[in-house]
Amino acid sequence: MKKTIKKKVRSTRITMPKIRSTKQKFSKIKEQDKTLYKLLQAEQKRQADSLELIPSENIVSKAVLEAMGSMLTNKYSEGYPGARYYGGNEEIDKIENLARDRVKELFGVPYANVQPYSGSPANMAVYIATCEAGDTVLGQHLFDGGHLTHGWKASATAKFFNTVQYHVKEDGYIDLDEVKRLAKKHKPKLIWVGATAYVREFPFKELGKVADSVGAYLVADIAHIAGLIVAGVHISPVKYVDIITTTTHKTLRGPRGGLIMVTNKGLKKDSKLGVKIDKSIMPGSQGGPHNHTTAAMAVAFKEASRPAFKRYGKQVVKNAEALANTLIKGGAELVSGGTDNHLMLLNCGEGRGAIVEIALDTVGLTVNKNTIPKEPASPMYPSGIRLGTPSITTRGMKTKEMKKIAKWILRVLDITKDESLPENSKDRALYLKDFTENIKHNKDIKAIKSEVLTLSRDFPIPDVLV
């Protein structure tokens, strides 16, 4: 009898997240700064009344928020536990060691640095630790889903290093034959695997062999899939790569921070690699760590170690599959024809990504415009949109809700099908400004917005995460 009662309560909590809904009051800010208070209230309402489909965004627990807003922000802590440049860091040392120990256990690695301010600084620190200026680096092309810091021409990484870019094939999978050819030809010091908009599982094992064949370090940037790896729904890179970088938000559902891990394989290649990483962060590229973020990381790592997080990760992938399949059945064109993870890329037609982004934002579905492989337009006015399921899964939604959301997206695509950017690039900003205003008055858009609002309020932002 007790078992049955317990099971019923658990089921109710998952299907009725409104019981756990929370609202930050900002009472002190309200007293001291009414202008900022109104802005915070407006953003809180925007998040509550819309659905976040950007795959790099998520919702943190109240415990993470508490750590982020704690007195730890008062303390300066340049250096590392046991070797600080400032006094009064006894408790800070314990907190940082706790975060490091938890993440090492979570991913099964012997070394971790939790001080990077974000993912890009973490990646830059890897360059500093492993390369000299001018060394050759191989990374995934931005239009093919890669990240700016993997050697894209607009990034500082391309200014300081000789960067070579690999691509995906017509089917959307990484072109391993091209990677092999480029590695053999250019003999890179460093090879990146990982991306910001890649919808398939990463071939860590295959790329590990490529890196070994030319004596390169292989770095896995798992910023997008860290939580999926922890949940067991994406292969782990730990056995195949030397270094791992990641952000701690996105699918890991923690604060906005970064971390670097070194694997046993990496330490076997260079026993001093962990020491080099530490020095590349402090004093190489950063000052004191953000201690409130370190504490919030520790909270998130503990949350991610629980069985509930594995259930969450599995649901993220199930939801992404349901969303993708419904879009495809409705006639939408997805890059690579689907997804293996939490995100998907929708081809909206040449240069139409911004148009569709604005229209979806108007109805309360937040996505981001994004380049697609062989992008026919420009990064500023790309042809795709990127969408994913981490945030809406945190709100308790399942595959039934994904089908609803997909049908709204299909309706918006149909409403905007005749819209296109002016050929003259100088006219595009004005066109989008007018479009943003005009689309608000479309009666079909208004109807979808009302439906999205209803679903948003049925699944409010939760206090306790499941």
CATH of domain 307-458: 3.90.1150.10
Q: In what order do the strands lie in the sheet with 368-370?
A: 333-334, 343-347, 384-388, 368-370
CA 219 to chain CA centroid, nearest Å: 17
Question: 56 and 251 in contact (C-beta within 8 Å)?
Answer: no
Question: 394 and 368 in contact (C-beta within 8 Å)?
Answer: no
**Fold (topology level) of 71-304:** Aspartate Aminotransferase; domain 2 (3.40.640)
Predicted TM-score of the model (pTM): 0.92
- Which of 49, 78, 93, 178 is an active site residue? 78
In this predicted structure, what is the pLDDT of residue 466?
A: 59
Containing 139, the helix (H) or strand (E) segment is: strand 136-140
In this predicted structure, what is the pLDDT of residue 463?
A: 76
In this predicted structure, what is the pLDDT of residue 18?
A: 41
In this predicted structure, what is the pLDDT of residue 22?
A: 56
**Domain boundaries for CATH 3.90.1150.10 within the chain:** 307-458
Integer Cα distance of 237 and 221 in angstroms:
10
In this predicted structure, what is the pLDDT of residue 9?
A: 37
- Which of 100, 200, 250, 449 is an active site residue? 250
Catalytic-residue membership of 78: yes
Catalytic-residue membership of 250: yes
Catalytic-residue membership of 386: no
- Which of 221, 321, 357, 375 is an active site residue? 221
* Residue-wise pLDDT tens digits, 363-400: 999 999 999 999 999 889 999 999 999 999 999 999 99
DSSP 334-374: EGGGS-SSSEEEEE-STT-HHHHHHHHHHHTEE-EEE--TT
- Which of 245, 246, 247, 248 is an active site residue? 247
* Residue-wise pLDDT tens digits, 102-120: 999 999 999 999 999 999 9
Integer Cα distance of 279 and 273 in angstroms:
10
Sequence-separated (6 or more) residues with CB below 8 Å from residue 408: 363, 365, 448, 451, 452
Question: 259 and 116 in contact (C-beta within 8 Å)?
Answer: yes
Query: Which parts of the chain sit beneath pLDDT 70?
Result: 1-22, 464, 466
- Which of 256, 269, 310, 428 is an active site residue? 256
**Domain boundaries for CATH 3.40.640.10 within the chain:** 71-304
Q: Kindly list the distances between the CA atom of residue 151 and the CA atoms of 111, 123, 138, 148, 292, in Å, as whole numbers in the listed order.
A: 25, 11, 7, 6, 31
Catalytic-residue membership of 46: no
Secondary structure class of 190 (helix, strand, coil): strand
Containing 157, the helix (H) or strand (E) segment is: helix 156-160
Catalytic-residue membership of 76: yes
Catalytic-residue membership of 178: no
CA 22 to chain CA centroid, nearest Å: 24
- Which of 37, 76, 117, 173 is an active site residue? 76
